[in-house]
A and B are shown apart, each in its own frame.
Chain A
Amino acid sequence: MIDLTKKDLNYLKNLQSVEGDLEIARRVVCNDKIAIHYFLGSFSIPFLNYIGREIMKLEGCYVNGILCYYPDISADYYTFIGAEFIKPIDKFVYKYFEKSYVNLSMNNSTEDEYIPTWYKVALYKGVKNKGVKEARLYTYINTITVRHFINLKKKLDKKNEKNIDDMLESESVSILIDHNGFDELILSEENPKYEELREAWDSLKERDRLILKYLVIENRKPLEIFDEMIQYVRTNIPIEQYTRKQKQDVISLMKSQAKRHLRELILRRRVK
């Protein structure tokens, strides 16, 4: 059994597993600087960019020449995800071991800052569905954060007397609503949105059509189709080195990508 507490952060990230996620979460809760830097940075920025752009409807700003939407919500995110913030009660102990037993709150304001307890991160236990299935840290943090910002946006718009029904609309969301999130694909004229779906479907690459056909229409299992679908993958990882988990992830990622392509093709047709 590998002791993950001794491993560096890159090792944990590359594990792509719940065990690695739990260790990352533990380090964040312990206020480990490297873990927090990663957690508030490359881990959170992708979904914060989405939230800033599509939910909070911000204008965005340029960071190193790239239009980004996360900076304007970073403070709100930190306040939400780091809560509660407390005065460190162990500062006496820490200084005691340093042989300097002083009351920091009396003579050093910088040392008297509140620190995050990361309560919501601490709640991550790596399980879902009554403890039966595993859940990844990213899915958990993404879920609670999106819900938080949707509620925040609703409150802001209500305060500004904006129309609450329209505020969370976006063309991409509207396409997903019209097509049931592509969780079912009905390629027949019974479908009221048949024409645009058919046109997008016909424009999809073979790989995308196959993965959606197998998983969504025929309801087949990911591992059943891995051997057939691996020919469409372009990485340097030798096929025989894929673990069972990676095989499942490959198929799941291909499915997500195919759904995104289908959505973008419909979007292009609508904006024409």
Chain B
Amino acid sequence: MKHLIRDLELIAYLEGELNKEEIRILKRKLEENGELNMLYHLQLSYDEGLEEYANELIGEDDFNTESVKTIAINHNFDSEYIIAANKKNPKKE
């Protein structure tokens, strides 16, 4: 039997309002429904929308910038440009 998962439960999870026991119950119900991936898709899409507010309140995230710098130092730019130009969608490929 499938569990009914209300939007309110998912919203409470995303906004960090559930305690550990409530999180366990929610995840168990989602798992039994075969919908656990939905929770994490929600989490990831939710995080994308908070980026602007996060930049404003805690400052710009330099995590990727620093990684890019490291990659740039260690790579041959000529080959990188050729690879990038040949890819329609580098992120997916």
Contact = CB atoms under 8 A, between A and B. Distances in A.
20 contacts: A46-B51, A47-B48, A51-B45, A60-B92, A135-B11, A135-B12, A138-B49, A139-B11, A143-B10, A143-B46, A168-B38, A170-B41, A177-B40, A235-B57, A237-B57, A252-B16, A257-B58, A257-B63, A260-B47, A260-B63
A169 B37 CA distance: 7
Contacts of B36: 177
Interface residues of B, number: 43
A254 B20 CA distance: 19
Contacts of A142: 14, 42, 45-46, 49
Contact of B14 (A53, A143, A261): A143
Nearest first, the 7 closest Cβ-Cβ pairs linking A and B are A234-B59, A50-B45, A46-B49, A176-B40, A47-B45, A46-B48, A253-B54
A219 to B, nearest CB: 7
A7 to B, nearest CB: 19
Interface in A26-73: 42-43, 46-47, 49-51, 53-55, 59-60, 67
Nearest to A45: B49
A253 B58 contact: yes
Given A168-B37, A173-B44, A235 B20 contact: no
A233 B23 CA distance: 29
Interface of B: 7-8, 10-12, 14-17, 20, 23, 27, 36-54, 56-61, 63-64, 88-89, 91-92
A246 B53 CA distance: 11
Given A133-B17, A140-B7, A260-B47, A181 B40 contact: yes
Interface stretch (A81-89, A103-111, A144-152): A144-152
Contacts of A59: 88-89, 92
Contact of A50 (B11, B23, B44, B63): B44
Q: Which of the four size classes fits the interface of chain A?
A: 35 or more
Which of A49, A142, A173 has the most chain B CB atoms inside 10 A of its CB? A142
B48 A50 contact: yes
Interface string A115-144: 000000000000011000101101110111
B74 to A, nearest CB: 13
A177 B37 CA distance: 7
A129 B39 CA distance: 17
B90 to A, nearest CB: 8
Given A51-B45, A133-B17, A128 B11 contact: yes
A256 B54 contact: yes
A249 interface: yes
A183 interface: yes
Contacts of A200: none
A115 to B, nearest CB: 25
Contact of B46 (A42, A47, A181): A47
